[in-house]
């Protein structure tokens, strides 16, 4: 099983789950209620997210609350980092370009 974070966020349902539990921990049933799918399907997604260490779980009686591990999301941000440099550079170039036009007009 490959199971990395990029594969985890590839599925739209999983992204929705991530967004859902970002603010507060939720049980599988509560999560499933937000989607047009069964609890078992959600459970499977939660398992994948767990394997990627994107979520935490906390048992409370027979209920299990799942919660986002926000730090893990940072890994995507880190992957993005070098690319961000690229588009910031391009923005600066545009900036300079515009400044130049400004200077030379009239």
Partner DNA sequence: AATTTGCGAAACCGAAAAGTTGCGCATATA
Partner DNA sequence: TATATGCGCAACTTTTCGGTTTCGCAAATT
DSSP string, 35-68: TTS-HHHHHHHHHHHHHTT-EEEEEETTEEEEEE
CB 10 → DNA: shortest distance, Å?
6
Q: Is 11 or 92 the residue whose CB approaches DNA more closely? A: 11
Q: Is 33 or 94 the residue whose CB approaches DNA more closely? A: 33
Q: Residue 36 contacts by C-beta under 8 Å, 6 or more apart in sequence? A: none
Q: Is 24 or 93 the residue whose CB approaches DNA more closely? A: 24
Helix H or strand E segment including 14? helix 12-21
Tell me the per-residue interface mask from 28 to 57 with a second copy, x by CB under 8 A, - otherwise: ------------------------------
């Amino acid at each position: 099983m490959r199971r990395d974070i990029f594969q985890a966020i590839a599925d739209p349902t999983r992204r929705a789950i991530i967004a859902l539990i970002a603010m507060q921990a939720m049980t599988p049933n509560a999560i499933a209620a937000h989607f047009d799918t069964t609890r078992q399907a959600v459970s499977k997604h939660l398992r994948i997210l767990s394997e990627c260490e994107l979520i935490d779980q906390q048992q409370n009686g027979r209920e299990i609350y799942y919660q986002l591990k926000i730090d893990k999301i940072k890994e995507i941000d880190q992957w993005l980092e070098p690319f961000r440099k690229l588009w910031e550079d391009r923005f600066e170039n545009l900036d300079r370009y515009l400044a130049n036009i400004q200077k030379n007009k009239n």
